[in-house]
Amino acid sequence: MSNVLEHERYRVLIVEDDPLMLELIDTHLSLAGYQTFQARDGYQGLSALRDTTPHALVLDINMPNLDGFGMLTSMRRLGYLPKVPTMVLTARNQTSDVQEAIRLGASDFLTKPFEDKRLLARVARLIKSKAPRAHAAVWM
Partner 1 sequence: MATGTHSMSKAEAHPFDAETAAIFARHSSDILVTADLQGVILSISGGCRSWGWEPEELIGRSATSLVHPDDLAKFQANMAGLASNDTADQGADREIRYRRKDGGWVWLQGNPHVIARRRGGLKLINIFRDVTDRKRAEIALAESEARFRRMAENAPDMIAECGVDGVMTYVSPACLAITGFTPEELVGRPAASLHHPDDSHKIYEMCQAVFASKGTIAPWPVEFRATHKDGHEIWLECKPILAVDPVTGRYTGLNDIIRDISKRKALEVQLRQAQAEAEAAAAIKSEFLANMSHEIRTPLTAILGFTGLLAERPNLDEVARGHLRRVTTASRALYSLVNDVLDFSKLEAGQFDYAPQTVCPVEFAHETLLMFSPQAGAKGLALDFIAEGEPPDWLSFDPDRMRQILLNLIGNAIKFTGEGSVRLRLRYAPVEERLYLAVEDTGPGMAPENQAKLFQRFAQIDGSTTRKHGGSGLGLAISKGLTEAMGGQIGVTSELGVGSVFSFFIIAPRAHAPATPDEAAPVTLDGVRVLVVDDNAVNREVARAVLEQVGAEVTLAEGGAEALLVAASQPFDVVLLDYRMPDMDGSETLRRLRTSEGPNCGIPVLGFSADCELAGLGDMGGFDDFVAKPINPALMIEKLLTWTSDDDLGVEVARVERA
Please give the sequence-ordered ranges of beta strands (E in DSSP) within the chain, or none if there are none: 11-15, 35-39, 56-60, 86-90, 108-111
User: b or e along 2-36 (b: 16 or more beta carbons within 10 Å of the residue's beta carbon)?
Assistant: eeeeeeeebbbbbbbbbeebbebbbebbeeeebbb
> Which residues of this protein are in contact with partner 1, per CB under 8 A?
5, 8-10, 18, 20-21, 23-24, 27-29, 31-34, 81-82, 85, 91-92, 99, 102-103, 105-109, 112-114, 116-118, 120-121, 123-125, 127-131, 133, 136
Region of 53 (left: φ > 0; alpha: ψ -120 to 50; beta: rest) is: left
131, β-bridge pairs? none
**Least distance in Å: CB of 31 to partner 1?**
8
**Least distance in Å: CB of 138 to partner 1?**
11
Which of 78, 136 has the CB closer to partner 1?
136
Which of 31, 47 has the CB closer to partner 1?
31
**Least distance in Å: CB of 61 to partner 1?**
13
Structural contact between residues 86 and 106, judged by C-beta atoms closer than 8 angstroms: yes
Which of 66, 102 has the CB closer to partner 1?
102
Which of 47, 104 has the CB closer to partner 1?
104
